[in-house]
Amino acid sequence: MSKFENLTNEELDILREMGNIGVGNASTALATMLGRPINITVPEVYLLKFSNLDKVIKPDEIVVGTVVGLSTMDNDNSGFLYMIFPQDSPNKLAELLIGDSSDESMVESTIMEISNILASHFCDGIANMLDTVLIPTPPSYAKDYSVAVIDALLAQIADKTDNLIIFETDLVDQDNTVNIFLMLIPTEKFFEYIMQLLEMVK
């Protein structure tokens, strides 16, 4: 994966645009669901070694996180979408959607449902751009250290590569009360597929 280290600014821009389309789609769905505007930040693209993951996420922060696996039509694992709901965001989302956050299992169900919707719209967005089909698995839910939530998933791609590519975007509602971080973690193979398309664009 020599490509990894020497991406041009132009290629990074296209990757950012891909993240933008996915997250844009997801945020529209979330805004409709919540009945309030959702702003998104310009996606960051990080290329890093596994051992430097703590440069992107605070490893000792305890978060609510959900993960979906992504696969193509022929069942190829394409990577993971990791959705992080820091601090009060899960409770705020439950209050906005069902008017109550006192029951933890209801908060969990709310987060699962939101993750489902974010993931399917995110996948539609980038799959359209890439002219493929991406199918998300149902989400898995955990509340733990931000790294502990995903290390079992990272282990699945760690055998092939030491390099991680992460797209990170922040979804924020108008009052700044709800924050969601989305991270797309593609497999080496899916990343190469994306890069091939970039070659064709140039």
Q: Residue 9 and residue 6: Cα distance in Å, rounded?
A: 9
Shortest distance in whole angstroms from residue 187 CB to another protein: 14
**Nearest Cα to Cα of residue 114 among 19, 22, 26, 25:** 26
Residue with Cβ nearer another protein (96 or 148): 148
Q: Is the CA virtual torsion 178, 83, 138, 46 positive or negative?
A: positive
Residue with Cβ nearer another protein (5 or 175): 5
Residue with Cβ nearer another protein (81 or 171): 81
- Residues in contact with another protein by CB under 8 A are 49-54, 59-60, 62, 67, 69, 137-156, 158-159, 162
Shortest distance in whole angstroms from residue 140 CB to another protein: 4
Angle CA 93–119–37, to nearest 5: 45
Number of residues written out for the chain: 202
CA distances from 148 to 9, 59, 65, 72, 184 (A): 32, 8, 10, 26, 17
Q: Token pair 């992080």 is at which residue? A: 84
Shortest distance in whole angstroms from residue 76 CB to another protein: 14
Residue with Cβ nearer another protein (14 or 119): 119
Residue with Cβ nearer another protein (94 or 157): 157
Q: Residue 156 and residue 184: Cα distance in Å, rounded?
A: 15
Residue with Cβ nearer another protein (40 or 67): 67
Shortest distance in whole angstroms from residue 109 CB to another protein: 11
**Cβ atoms 64, 90 nearer than 8 A:** yes
Shortest distance in whole angstroms from residue 156 CB to another protein: 8
Q: Residue 29 and residue 122: Cα distance in Å, rounded?
A: 9
Shortest distance in whole angstroms from residue 163 CB to another protein: 12
